[in-house]
A and B are shown apart, each in its own frame.
Chain A
Amino acid sequence: MNIDAAGMHFKDLNEQIKAAGKEVVIDRCMGQRYIGSGLTGKDIVIHGTPGNALGAYLDGSTITVHGNAQDATGDTMNDGAIYITGSSGDATGYAMRGGKIFVNGDVGYRAGIHMKEYKEKSPVLVIGGAAGSFLGEYQAGGTIIVLGLERERPVGKFCGVGMHGGRIYLRCQAPPDDLSKRIIVEKAANEDMEIIETYVKEFCGIFGCDEKAVLDSSFYVLRPDSKNPYRQLYTQN
């Protein structure tokens, strides 16, 4: 089903999406918020610019954006996939607990903040360009990969502050020089490269780039030094 979203209120648009069948194509999308919020079993293609909280609480649908997305894309998503051919705003993938987000361009501040995981359920956020500051802040689980393609540096400041789980892979010649002392940074090992290769392959398949050229670089992995970062902070009173 095709929906022309020009001038449409988000509530009307989202009602139509919910009422539609599995396949939904939205044309002339212009800032409507909450598209795909909590949806299961949909395949949504968006032309234009969806508004904030695209795919919030997404529970197993595919959303493809031909354009840019705004803030809080995939907020607290549980399952499914979001593909963005352009860039995505602040807090992309906030508190994701499952599923995948692939962004061809850049993401804003605080992407991947407080991502989680539990056993085999582990979210993935792949960024082709660069991420703003505070990438992976409070990260409790999951995988973030930043490729930094054609960018000077892959991440902004304070990458991974408060991180206590999960992993961040950065494609770069040298890791950021302002990392917290609580983060262990190493060159990606073989088992890390296997994970990276899997998602780079998927990334290149979606956005059409040269897998070999992307992988022909050094990768670093950031991990927290403890899953109990605050244990030493307190005195029982």
Chain B
Amino acid sequence: MAINFLYPDHEVVRNPQRCIACRVCERQCANEVHSYDEELNLMKADDTKCVNCHRCVSLCPTMALKIVKTDHTFKENANWTGETIKELYRQAGTGGVLLSSMGNPKPYPVYWDRLLINASQVTNPSIDPLREPMETRAYLGKKPERIERDQNGEIVNNLTPQLELNVPIMFSAMSYGSISYNAHESLARAARELGTLYNTGEGGLHEDFYEYSANTIVQVASGRFGVYKDYLNAGAAVEIKMGQGAKPGIGGHLPGQKIVGDVSRTRMIPEGSDAISPAPHHDIYSIEDLRQLVYSLKEATDYKKPVIVKIAAVHNVAAIASGVARSGADIIAIDGFRGGTGAAPTRIRDNVGIPIELALASVDQRLRDEGIRNNVSIVVGGSIRSSADVVKAIALGADAVYIATGALLALGCHLCRSCQTGKCNWGIATQEPELVKRLNPDVGSERLVNLVHAWEHEIKEIMGGMGINSIEALKGNRLMLRGIGLNEKELEILGVKYAGE
């Protein structure tokens, strides 16, 4: 019907002089964009199906393909943009809630890009990390309030369980089901090699990955998928998911088409059945109730594992974090509104929550003001894009960061934001065996290790430049940051001075 026609956002441009009609593009595209016309010996493309994932472009042996943004346009209108009009048409045609994936792409301010890092000159010598020792280790968990000694004056070990990270970067939660077996294997192997942790997300833990337990955070979410005693004890830590930056306040629905085979068994729900995570945990209506879940998990794991509580960055995040810090949780993870997702209602993703930079600064300050900062470690994510973001997060008060979108990019994700279709051509956000095998865990884990090693070196360089030789000395050291292009209120919340001050 003409009224339902939407001109595609992207066009496949094929250079006929280069194309040899080898049909690689046709075989590689799960969206069935490319086809071969035998009579004309020509490749054709259906732009309406293209998600702009670059799989065909990357594998074309003659570089005959590129994807371009269409120049077809509505009459220019700063209020009714083409995107807004198209979304409205889609809803008028279907009556459906708009569903998107990956993080908020809207042009909200990115505060990381408005913070500048200090360096030493003359008075405080910088340090060369290639020659001098530099400490990037981080310990996550509650820190004791005081040193205790026995009657002989010997120090009593009163330290509760801690996570030890070689580098303050962890892979954040992505469930088996939303991403593939090979993606999970890549993350698990990379975490082990790097001396850090990956996170199962809420879909349970495949039995093949129990061997990576020392580098695994197991997640407990409202749907309780795959949660049982062995699972809880398989992790180095247990994370309670209260919220997610991409969709604060709502739950998740993994469509039944992704609940196949091992995903079904790992989640303990029938094949083909939607996996529904309710918006709230129905046993948690208060901080006291949260405390109950924290302690039931500690009881089930003999108090040997730190418990992480993950919340989305929302307006009252500082007050909420203050409650969480009193709930018995050892670590708070805060997920900013640019965090990724396998699927979220577009309107929620793009309009709910606040930037992680502001949330982190206000949480750290609030916990300090209340004298409870050492009750918990703070981990932030959503979104950390580079080593510079990591350094800025730590200077704002984080103990470590979570990365997920960045990790997926390392695995080959091209941010086409079509995860919800389950047809990921890069073998990441899919359960189709033919697509999953495109992601080789040997290559995937190596690329993740490369990425984190590169960031680690850059972090050392940046810290060295400031004359700082440990993450611990950088943590909460906001004097190492200056703002640029920020107003007074923003500077106040971030707790930083303006550049030149």
Contacts and interface: CB of A to CB of B under 8 A. Distances in A.
Interface in B354-390: none
A219 interface: no
- Binding site secondary structure of chain A: loop
B282 interface: yes
A140 B97 contact: no
B255 A231 contact: yes
Given A34-B296, A38-B232, A72-B292, A234 B96 contact: yes
Given A33-B296, A236-B420, A237-B87, A164 B268 contact: no
Contacts of B454: none
Contacts, number: 149
Contacts of B270: 117-118, 140-141, 165, 227
Contact of A37 (B95, B99, B275, B296): B296
A14 interface: yes
A133 to B, nearest CB: 12
A37 B300 contact: yes
B90 A237 contact: yes
* Chain B CB within 10 A, most for which of A11, A59, A162, A234: A234
A102 B397 CA distance: 49
A227 B228 CA distance: 23
B96 A76 contact: no
Contacts of B255: 228, 230-231
B491 interface: no
B55 interface: no
Contacts of B90: 235, 237
Contacts of A167: none
A192 B276 CA distance: 26
A52 B224 contact: no
A234 B232 contact: no
A234 B99 contact: yes
Nearest to B275: A140
A118 B268 contact: yes
A233 B274 contact: no
Given A162-B276, A164-B274, A233-B96, A37 B299 contact: yes
Contacts of A141: 269-270, 273
Contacts of A72: 283, 292, 296
Contacts of A18: 302
B269 A116 contact: yes
Contacts of B230: 59
Given A34-B299, A91-B283, A95-B223, A164 B273 contact: yes
A75 B289 CA distance: 13
Given A33-B295, A230-B276, A236 B227 contact: no
Interface of B: 87, 90-91, 93-100, 222-225, 227-230, 232, 253, 255-256, 264-265, 267-270, 272-276, 278, 282-283, 292, 295-296, 299-302, 345-346, 420-421
26 contacts: A33-B296, A34-B295, A34-B300, A38-B229, A38-B299, A38-B301, A52-B292, A56-B296, A57-B296, A76-B228, A95-B223, A97-B268, A114-B276, A116-B267, A118-B264, A121-B268, A137-B282, A138-B278, A140-B269, A140-B270, A164-B273, A227-B270, A235-B91, A235-B96, A237-B87, A237-B90
